Chain A
Amino acid sequence: MFAKGTNKGFLGWMIFGIAMLALPLFASSATVRIFVFANYIAIFAISWDVLSGRTGYISFGHPFLIGIGGYTTALLTHHLDMPLYITIPAAVLVTMIAGTLFFLPALRIRGTYFALVTLAFMELMYGLVQVVAPDITGGTRGLTGLPSIVTGAVSNYYLSFGVMFTLGLAMWLLIRTRLGTALGSIGMNEEAVRACGLNTTKLKLFAFTLSAMIAGLGGAMYIHYLGSIAPRGLFDVSFLFTILVACLLGGAGTITGPIMGAFFLTLLLEFLRPYIPGSERYLIYGVATLVLYVLQPRGIHRLIQITVNWFVEGFMRRKST
């Protein structure tokens, strides 16, 4: 069912899982909170990667999907006092429907144009939320006092990590099936995939719905963790930027790459904080990202691959002499 080399990768996942499970035993609650944030960014990055990393339909509008999920659960809990075990699945469902809306332009356009339509979707949402029925959506100021799923840093850490790990592993396994190969080939040459007798529309719809599902779940959980929701900060270019850069810096299309990217970005910012407390931190962070991206557009994932290969080859050479 899965491609070769899956077992070796599985070992990596187990080590990652055990290390992350043990983390709260050593880390302070402030550090744990940073990791909660990294987990959520990783979930969003996984969602982006399933769609854009694989099929090459670059989404600049992922915050739109995340926001739909977030607003659905926020409105249902805030106005109707519905329990979370109903509102979160409802949010996922609504986001999946929105994902098919997102999909319509992908029937006709791709590349840059597709990216721009999704960006327009995000900006449209930003405008609409503030104007249409602000007494319900909370308008520009948004909604606050939303219920949380669990309380405390450690519980939130385990919850977000559990979801991220499960989704990440599931998607990583998915891309190693034949379905994953088919989705990936769309990103390389869509016409050729069609000429191989595959229904690319069906495959794309699958990728969009799956991506929307993850975005909806992540978005809903994230806003309950924050306890509030507002259009600025959600339908926002810098939020998009964080997701996009996590994926690209990590290595798009690999699932593990975007997770690494999400952790790298979040931890880099936090690591810099004691040395550079001011706004210069963001400048350094941006420049570092830009340099890394231009030097290795295929990301950390590829850098690790190259390093591992280099060590293995060196080891082999020493053995043979």
Chain B
Amino acid sequence: MLIQILLPGLLLSGLYALIAIGFTMIFSVGRVLNLGYGAFIMFGGYIYYQSAQILGLGKVPSFVIATAAGVLLGLIVYVILIRKLKGDAIAIEISTLIFAIVTQAAIIVVFSPSPKSMWPLIPGVLRVGDVIVTYNLVVAAVTSWVVLAALFLFIGKTHIGRAIRAVSMDPKGAVISGIDPDRINLIIWGLSGGLGAMAGIFLATYTQLAPAMWVAPLIIAVAVVIVGGIGSILGGLVAAHVIGMLETITTTLIAAELRGVATMLLIILVLIIAPKGLFGKAEL
């Protein structure tokens, strides 16, 4: 029984961490919510589908193409939208939400509104005792851990990483020490777009491709940020696992339909009881 929850829960948590990380980064650095983040995820999924399943370019090149396309989309959104709104948080939230809807409409125009099923990245299933998990989910979780570890190294060890941390802690102080926050934000949006697209590939193979698929991951990302707390990437990692486990427990032990309900209750409770999140340092 325990393994039935622990193993799928752990893998799902890994996927959720990957979904949330790009969103958390923008929130930590720019203190704005990118409600269009779901569009990056959906975009990545569809580009991969087009490249791998329609054009037949192979899995690995398609993966790279989709991720690169995500980076490009992130950069474009930053340059044409976010920079113009000059840090007005509400305006950014609303315009990114509109952007997500626009992306959804564009996807419908190009790919039709009907859902598409994706081939798994690696077919087959893994059996541990009587627990069955797909290799696909295993790959997603492992990739997520690798990406997160790489990101930690990048932020901790590199010059750009230190600049990112500086901007996230104190934007004004960072300017004084010669860092250009605009460039850092550009980098972050590009990274976020790429990570989002990558997460989208895994998510789409885990569920399916559909023009409304951006809502669910956005809500997961929001939940991770809220539960983990602002400015805390590590907190986000823990929160992703809390949510992944919670969902697995609810779906296995209570009812599969209650998956989202548990997460929503958690968000509401955390926001009302501890608005800073479980690991957040910053004030509201």
Contacts and interface: CB of A to CB of B under 8 A. Distances in A.
Contacts of A108: 272, 275
Question: Which 8 residue pairs spanning A and B have beta carbons closest together?
Answer: A286-B102, A124-B264, A283-B105, A127-B261, A282-B105, A120-B267, A131-B257, A127-B260
Interface string A233-267: 00001100100110010000000000000000000
Contact of B272 (A104, A282, A290, A293): A104
A105 B272 contact: yes
A30 B197 CA distance: 43
A131 B222 CA distance: 23
22 contacts: A105-B268, A109-B271, A109-B284, A112-B93, A117-B268, A119-B219, A119-B222, A124-B260, A124-B264, A124-B265, A124-B268, A131-B255, A237-B101, A279-B108, A283-B102, A283-B106, A283-B108, A290-B98, A293-B98, A294-B81, A294-B84, A294-B95
A147 to B, nearest CB: 30
Contacts of A285: 105
Interface string A100-116: 00001100111111011
Given A127-B257, A285-B105, 15 more contacts: A58-B90, A105-B271, A111-B89, A115-B93, A119-B219, A123-B219, A130-B257, A131-B255, A278-B109, A280-B109, A283-B106, A286-B105, A290-B81, A297-B88, A297-B91
Interface string A115-136: 1110111011011101100000
Interface in A187-210: none
Size bracket of the A interface: 35 or more
Contact of A113 (B91, B99, B102, B271): B271
Interface of B: 33, 81, 84-85, 88-91, 93-95, 97-99, 101-102, 105-106, 108-109, 113, 215, 219, 222, 226, 255, 257-261, 264-265, 267-268, 271-272, 275, 284
Contacts of B98: 241, 245, 286, 289-290, 293
A121 B102 contact: no
Contacts of B259: 127
A110 B271 CA distance: 10
Contacts of B255: 131
Nearest to A282: B105
A290 B92 CA distance: 11
Contacts, number: 109
A82 interface: no
A179 interface: no
B260 A112 contact: no
B272 A244 contact: no
Interface of A: 58, 104-105, 108-113, 115-117, 119-121, 123-124, 126-128, 130-131, 237-238, 241, 244-245, 248, 278-280, 282-283, 285-287, 289-290, 293-294, 297
Contact of B90 (A111, A119, A127, A290): A111
Nearest to B218: A237
Contacts of A121: 264, 268
Nearest to A58: B90
A280 B108 CA distance: 8
B93 A286 contact: no
B215 A237 contact: yes
A128 B91 contact: no
A245 B105 CA distance: 16
Contacts of A58: 90, 93
A290 B99 contact: yes
A120 B268 contact: yes
Contacts of B88: 297
Contacts of B257: 127, 130-131
B175 to A, nearest CB: 24
A287 B109 contact: no
Given A113-B275, A117-B271, A244 B94 contact: yes
Contacts of A241: 97-98, 101
Contact of B108 (A105, A131, A282, A297): A282
A116 B261 contact: no
A289 B96 CA distance: 12
Contact of A131 (B85, B97, B261, B284): B261
A126 B84 CA distance: 35
